[in-house]
Amino acid sequence: MPASALRPRFREVPSFSQEIRAALDSLGIGGRCYRLSKGSMVSLHEGGARCGLHLLLDGRMKTLRFSEDGRVMILDLLDTGEVFGEMALVAEEGVEPTYVEALEEVEIETFPRFALDGVLRGRSALALGIARLMAARRKRLERRLETQVFQRVPVRLASLLLELAERFGDPLEGGTIVDIPLSQQDLGNLIGASREIVSLTLSEFRRREAVSMLGRRIVVHESKLRREAP
């Protein structure tokens, strides 16, 4: 499937993901496609056929790590058309294990590491695209960590909801619906807060008409929510 045919439901595919896919196409490197059901989890660092670079052909996923006491940190959210698993191509032994979990039924194309090693040693467009992907993900994670360190929970949650509306939003009259299946616990794991605090903060946002609900989805009213995240 050519890169140009891949589009998330409401947002453009990030340029670095398009660049990586175009490079794979030009190099004639094919992948193996498979489907995962909602809730399925895969390690990005274990060996075998699923170790390598992955293209999310359809659906949404989250990348996460676990602490020794079982707590979860969500590192990123992935939309249709995005590439992930790039750290497995360059990481040394002993790296902290990272996992992906399907937020709904997904289809993935995997390009095994052994097929990419030789290409990445050269000055290829693929290597450049992966470097840009890593830089963009690091920048997004650093921005979220900075918010967690210096800002109160309401500001953290408002900032996250505005980001989700931009990345996964579908415009509605008077707002933007966040069309990605995240629980209140997921939101808490993204901003370093408990589910109970997230629930209370969302209730306060609703009271102020900064957000509303449409079924189980959050509708962000940007102009009012931005007052919570100056």
In angstroms, the Cα distances linking 55 to 19, 122, 169, 212, 214 are 12, 22, 21, 33, 30
Return the SS3 of 218.
Answer: strand
Whether the pLDDT of residue 3 is over 50: the answer is no
Cβ–Cβ under 8 Å, residues 9 and 170: yes
Whether the Cβ atoms of residue 56 and residue 78 lie closer than 8 Å to each other: yes
pLDDT at position 180 over 50: yes
Pick the CATH number of 3-140 from 3.30.70.100, 2.60.120.10, 3.40.50.300, 3.30.300.30: 2.60.120.10
Q: Which residues contact 40 (CB under 8 A, 6 or more apart)?
A: 101, 102
Q: Is the pLDDT of residue 90 over 50?
A: yes
CATH 2.60.120.10 in the chain: give the residue spans: 3-140
Helix axes 195-207, 184-191, angle to 10 degrees: 100
Q: Match domain 151-228 to its CATH number in 1.10.600.10, 2.40.50.140, 1.10.10.10, 1.20.58.760.
A: 1.10.10.10
Nearest Cα to Cα of residue 222 among 200, 199, 205, 201: 205
C-alpha to C-alpha distances, 111 to 117, 134, 190, nearest whole angstrom? 11, 17, 28
CA angle, corner 25, sides to 97 and 33, nearest 5? 50
Mean pLDDT for the chain overall:
84
Q: Which of 54, 28, 25, 32 lies closest to 42 in space, CA to CA?
A: 54
Position with higher pLDDT, 105 vs 31: 105
Sign of CA dihedral 54, 51, 59, 187: negative
Q: Quick one: average pLDDT of 44-66? A: 83
Q: Quick one: pLDDT at residue 8?
A: 45
Query: What CA–CA distance (Å, rounded) separates 167 from 116?
Result: 29
Can you name the residues that pair with 54 across neighbouring β-strands? 84, 110
Whether the per-residue pLDDT at 228 is higher than 90: the answer is no
pTM of the model: 0.77
Model confidence band, residue 9 (pLDDT cutoffs 50, 70, 90): very low
Task: Delimit the CATH 1.10.10.10 region(s) of the chain.
Answer: 151-228
For residues 59 and 106, the answer to whether their CB atoms sit within 8 Å is yes
